[in-house]
Chain A
Amino acid sequence: MKKEFLTGNEAIVKGVLAVGAEMMAGYPITPTTEIIHYWSEEQTKNENLKFLQTEDEMAAGFATLGGVLAGKKAFTATAGPGNVLMQDPLSMAENMRLPIVLFVNQRGGPSTGTVIYSQQELNLSIYGGNGEGLRIVYSSSNVQEMFDNAIKAFNTAWKYRFPTIVLSDGYSAKTLVEIETYEPKEKNIEIIPSNAYLLNKNKKIGQYVNLRNTYNLEEELHTLLESHQKEFNRISAELIEFESYKTDDAEIVIFAHGIVGASSKIAVDALRKNGKKVGLFRPITLNPFPKNEAKEIASKAKKILVTESSMGQFERLVKNNLYGQTIEIETLLKPAMGISPEEIIKKLQISN
């Protein structure tokens, strides 16, 4: 374990290397380009690392899937309009439960938007593509989590075999701070191995694998989807992660994710100093969502404030999971703009 002074994008690359990532295909797009840059430098020092700059994000995603099929720990990274194109390969990964890992640094949208920052890619990352949203989605709130979740993403993907996405944002990608980096074994984190789907080293002569994502009969696809959903539900309990900060006696609980969660935490401490009983509930896995824990909090508190840098993508997710709860929900929504602790404090001081 050591202390290192890193940006968010550097932390991602260090994290993937720590957990044994072997291949990346990518297309440059702000604010994710640095990941491609650092990886392409790393692979000059280590011939076991593979890198391909592709012609677009669709090729990046499908080439990454090619690597996954060959049994490599492969990942890609994108943002904004690149994330839109990435839905093509992600849909295939979702249908076939292929363990692709994707890092997304959210930027302003829709369309080209800004290259700067947002939390507007939640819908896309969970529900993009023409499927049911069977992707595991993490949301990192600071540079330390970008390192931690990079390790987690590969282990999650190869253990549970669902496409795994780690959401971060343009601010965090470029923030330079000190974090603790480590080898997984130093924290007793098991490294899950990968293995090939096609031309597996244990393949016997005369044994062949024919993989597809197209079905002739409605019933075939229906049965497949039910089985995927069942497995997703089964693993949810093991997978769910959240932070519940000063919620035990809280009258108002802020619901936020990612960097807005970090901002909210500062607001909670400031408000507590002034005697206000405020807490923070911060899902770390957005999908699966920590539904039971959220409901528990909603049943005890008097009010919820949902805050995000989007026009309601997280709010919808929260409300969907809190169905049945009658608690009052207020919102502080700022699509494509950062939300400072001061703004949150002001919002909660005004409201009562």
Chain B
Amino acid sequence: MIETSLPKSWKEESKPHKFCPGCGQSLALKILGEAIDEMGLQEKMVYACDIGCSLLSWDMFDVDTIQTHHGRVIPTMVGFKLANPNAITVAFLGDGGGYAIGAQHLVNAAMRNDKITAILVNNANYAMTGGQMAPTTLVNQKTDTTPNGREVSKFGNPIHGPEMIAQIAAEDAYIARTTSNDFDVCKNIIKKALQNQIDGKGFSFVEILSMCPVNWKMNAQESMDFIKNDMVPIFPLGEIKKSN
């Protein structure tokens, strides 16, 4: 049996996984898998995914997992953590689940400073359903529901989730934005977001800019360029709240 580079916490039986070729979300999940391995969390944590492309990760991990309804992954993990405070709870969701249908849950979890780790993938569209506009779609970006590009006069500007959450969050919350293209930095940030929960501190929230070559209708190089040249200038990378 040739040794592979699958993270130990990835479930081998479900591979190859069902994410598209070149998908930044699956890359983020691989980085998360490596973080789980390096921190030894497999037996202590619960992983929850939302609806959208994230539902494809329901059998990604050899970790106890629950796939929930759209936008509801955060309250499910909040309830689980309340019932089992020793568990490390990870809520994984997309830009729709976090900033649209589940926005009130994200905001209220931050307000209450719930001790969960929420990881949100921002690929600037609703990918699973074929590439409709998301709250994070860039101005002038063409999507299925903005065939002429996102117009500010009709749909406003893209939402800055971590910055918005930072306004409500407590002092010991950890809030950051990274991209799955910077694997080492991304893994570090994910680890900090998990450690914040392990240390019994507050709400941890990480947004990960991720490539979506299929719905962006781009190849590998183009989708990497789109992250670097188009998304990062609008969604700056870095730690927004460092949890004192």
Contact = CB atoms under 8 A, between A and B. Distances in A.
Q: Do A and B interact directly, with beta carbons closer than 8 Å?
A: yes
Interface of A: 22-23, 25, 50, 52, 54-56, 58-60, 62-67, 69-72, 74, 88-89, 91-92, 196-199, 203, 205-206, 208-214
A225 B63 CA distance: 26
B65 A59 contact: no
The B interface is mostly helix, strand or loop, or mixed, namely mixed
Contacts of B67: 211-214
B59 A67 contact: no
Nearest to A66: B79
Contact of B58 (A58, A63, A69, A210): A210
B46 A199 contact: yes
Contact of A72 (B51, B65, B66, B83): B83
Range class of the B interface residue count? 20 to 34
A211 B66 contact: yes
B82 A210 contact: no
Interface string B55-66: 100110111111
Interface string B2-18: 00000000010000000
Interface of B: 11, 42-44, 46, 51, 55, 58-59, 61-69, 72, 75-84, 87, 104-105, 107-108
Contact of A212 (B46, B59, B82, B108): B59
Contacts of A74: 79, 83
Contacts of A54: 75, 108
B156 to A, nearest CB: 23
B108 A214 contact: no
Contact of A56 (B55, B81, B104): B104
9 contacts: A62-B72, A67-B83, A69-B83, A92-B72, A197-B66, A198-B87, A208-B62, A209-B64, A210-B11
A241 B61 CA distance: 44
Nearest to A214: B55
A338 to B, nearest CB: 36
B83 A23 contact: yes
A198 B66 contact: yes
B80 A69 contact: yes
Contacts, number: 126
B76 A199 contact: no
A66 B77 contact: yes
B118 to A, nearest CB: 14
Contacts of A88: 69, 72
A269 B79 CA distance: 48
Given A54-B108, A92-B69, 19 more contacts: A25-B75, A59-B78, A59-B104, A65-B79, A66-B76, A66-B78, A69-B66, A69-B76, A70-B79, A70-B80, A70-B83, A72-B83, A74-B79, A91-B69, A208-B62, A212-B55, A212-B58, A214-B51, A214-B67
Nearest to B84: A70
Which 8 A/B pairs are nearest by Cβ-Cβ distance? A66-B79, A63-B79, A70-B83, A66-B80, A59-B75, A198-B64, A55-B108, A212-B67
B105 A59 contact: yes
Contacts of A196: 84
Q: Pick from B43, B55, B75, B76 the residue with the most CB of A within 10 Å.
A: B75
Q: Pick from B51, B58, B72 the residue with the most CB of A within 10 Å.
A: B72
Given A92-B68, A214-B58, A66 B83 contact: yes
B58 A64 contact: no
Contact of B65 (A89, A92, A210): A210
A91 B69 CA distance: 9
A88 B83 CA distance: 21
